[in-house]
């Protein structure tokens, strides 16, 4: 849910993510892919991070279409997803994986469209006092 809380993590955690070194493999059962440096706190490989980011974005779009408000934390978390994607695009520039690159660019486009939608429609962003 995207109401007054962020169910998938804390936006402020992403600030620390970029400073951490890549460690280990994805924590998803059955996945042995390495964790990119920018996703160390998430403990997910890029593909699983993208899967989750698409789900978060889809939920936010559903909320907007229903005229429901988004929490500031939820919006911040979606924007931190965009930052993580940009960092991963930068890190993988020398060794691009075409499918991952396409998914990252698609997610960035959807997030940009969501941001525009929120800015130009009557979508309320709840700010906690």
- Whether the CB-CB separation of 60 and 74 falls below 8 Å is answered with yes
Q: Give the position of tokens 């929120």.
A: 118
Asked, for residue 2, whether it belongs to a domain, the answer is no
Q: CA 17 to CA 77: how far, in whole Å?
A: 13
Asked, for residue 62, whether it belongs to a domain, the answer is yes
Three-state DSSP class for 60?
helix
Question: Which range scores top for mean pLDDT: 11-15, 26-30, 74-78?
Answer: 26-30
Three-state DSSP class for 114?
helix
Q: Which two tokens stand for residue 106?
A: 């698609």
How many distinct structural domains can be found in the chain? 1
- Whether the CB-CB separation of 116 and 66 falls below 8 Å is answered with no
pLDDT over 50 (residue 68): yes
Average pLDDT, the chain: 78
Asked, for residue 6, whether it belongs to a domain, the answer is no
User: pLDDT category, 126, cuts 50, 70, 90?
Assistant: low
Asked, for residue 94, whether it belongs to a domain, the answer is yes
Asked, for residue 106, whether it belongs to a domain, the answer is yes
Structural domain including 88 reads 13-126
Percentage of the chain modeled with pLDDT above 70: 76
């Amino acid at each position: 849910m995207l109401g007054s809380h962020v169910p998938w993590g804390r936006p402020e955690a992403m600030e620390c993510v970029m400073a951490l070194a890549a460690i280990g493999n994805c924590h998803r059962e059955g996945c042995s892919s390495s964790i990119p440096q920018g996703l160390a706190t998430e403990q997910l490989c890029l593909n699983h991070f993208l899967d989750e980011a698409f789900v978060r974005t889809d939920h936010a779009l559903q909320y907007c279409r229903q005229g429901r408000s988004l929490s500031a934390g939820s919006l911040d978390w979606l924007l931190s997803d965009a930052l993580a994607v940009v960092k991963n695009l930068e890190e993988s520039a020398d060794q691009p994986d075409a499918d991952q690159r396409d998914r990252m660019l698609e997610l960035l486009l959807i997030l940009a469209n969501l941001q525009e939608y929120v800015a130009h429609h009557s979508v309320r962003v709840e700010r906690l006092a």
